[in-house]
Structure 1
Amino acid sequence: MKKIVVASAAVLAMGMSSASAADLGAKMYKKAPPIVAAYDPWDIAFGAAVMSNYVFRGVTQSNGNKGSVAAYFEPRYNITKDVQLYAGVSGESIAFPNRASMELDGYFGIRPTWGAAAFDFGFFYYGYPGGQCFNTPAFCGGDINAVALPNGSVAKKNASFYEGYAKLNYTFNDYFSLGGNAFYSPNFLNTGAEGTYASITGKVIAPSTWFGSTGIGSYVSGEFGRQWLGTSDAFYGTVAFPNGIKYADYNTWNIGIGFTYKVFTLDLRYSDTNLSKGDCNAFTSDFTAPAAGTNFTAINPSGAGSSWCGATGIVKLSADLTAMTNLK
């Protein structure tokens, strides 16, 4: 009997030890639940800039060396870590032929990211409030105070327009990226002419070790683009083309070097186009162009020539922040 009791006790002890070992093993290999960090999908980007010349696709918007200031505000919503919705407003000081008080823009879009490829699809509205009409009263809606510009150029009171766009930027590594952009407007600058713009961009970022522990970064970037333009409406017509003029298509390019420090960027850039002074005058209605000249083209019978599309240097100092990164 004693042997039976001892044997039974041994079997029970072995069973308990096996059960305990099984439980221990199960606990050892059970995966802990992941720790999910708090995630706020909202963010706001905003910034401001001051520049020696506001150049848009190779053409000054600030009468050359008159300078310009700009600011923007852009709320963002991240649907996922790879898809962002955004909308924004921006404003710039300008010097337009119609004497518009400023440029006031609104835009929205979506930015999907797929690996190293970042896409951007959206809609942009360019507003130019406070403009005046410069032409004959008949072309200015019967405004008896309407007059042509001293050099014979004409300008609509309203130059506002909108564009749709698609962009792609591919980042190869920490130092090099390439991009492509396409924009389309059915009524560019409210001239009645279609406008299509496409460009390629590139950027090379210098290694951070170049400036030691100063926190200063630098880059070289450039763009080559082409602007295709259609035929204007009769407002901009000439004696030879009373129903409108076919604006000249043109190439534009820029290259520059930039320096960054925290939220600040100093950009030094060269910009140019292949537009002749005569075709530039017909396209821009430059109010500073001389009343007469030798820059005759089929669409510029006055011979007046504009430098608004020529070679220029640009110095720009900007600050760009996001609420989630810079205001925490």
Structure 2
Amino acid sequence: VEGEVFSPPRQAFIKHSPVFEDMYLVGDGSSGEGRSKEKPIILEGYQAADFKALLMILYPTTTDLISGKLSLTKGQWTGVLRLSRPWEMHEIRKFAIERLSSEPFNLTPAEKVSLAREHKVSKWLIEGLTSLASGDPELSPDQLEAAIGLRASFRIVGIQNKALSKPMITSLLIDGNSATRLALPVLHCGYCVKPMITSRCTCQSCNLAVEPGTLGPVYISSSTTTSMLNRTDVGLSFYFRADSLLCYACRRSFMPSGITCTACNKNNTPSINLIIPLSPSRAPDCSMEGLVREVFKDEIQECDM
């Protein structure tokens, strides 16, 4: 590899890679390639540093085994990912994706998109594009173009405009009385002040399943006591007790036992005040993800191939 000769045991390569299994079979033939250092199998187009990182996975040291950790850098894990796909090392590829997705690497949305495109990881592509469409982080048009390219940045702006055109709060009549209906993602946690429901949620009183982007099944009655407008991290907002959120299907409390915030994992008990921004600045992440899947469908499918 890049002029450097390696002599690792072949068993792990044969076990994890059908490509190497074929290489060794060919090498054991009349050519003699792979049978000695004088006649190695030549791997063109690959980097020695990536190959060394792969060897750290295939042949961990005693220290690695005792500690239960593989001390690879982000660049080394990326190198493992770079080799595992063309060599059909599916288990190792999955392992590298899992490690890069976790602490301490914390891939940025732009990094996820870039790595997803290079290494065909649909999970990262969806996550990265959804974060960028949701404004996390907030990027200028030039920064967005530099991060993901001109065409994709135009698509992201289109997704944002489409998502923001959807009403998140409106009014309706319940038994002749005015009420406020809302989509679940406008509910912000009383502790961390972040959207607390980003996936399907079930009414605790009647088990009605409510999709996060659906406007209608959940409402606040006109008799509910709310706070005056207060300035919060998400702008002007008002507060109301969690047990005042009602289900349209059963007309009872939607969360009589409270609910755990998906952002900070703290339990918002029925007596805790939930927060609703006066003007939600972003549509729910789950809605954004649906739009990302729709708009970038072809590119996502290419990653899955």
Q: Same fold (TM over 0.5)?
A: no
Higher radius of gyration, 1 or 2: 1
Which bracket does the TM-score occupy, shorter chain normalised? under 0.3
Greater per-residue helix proportion: 2
Greater per-residue strand proportion: 1
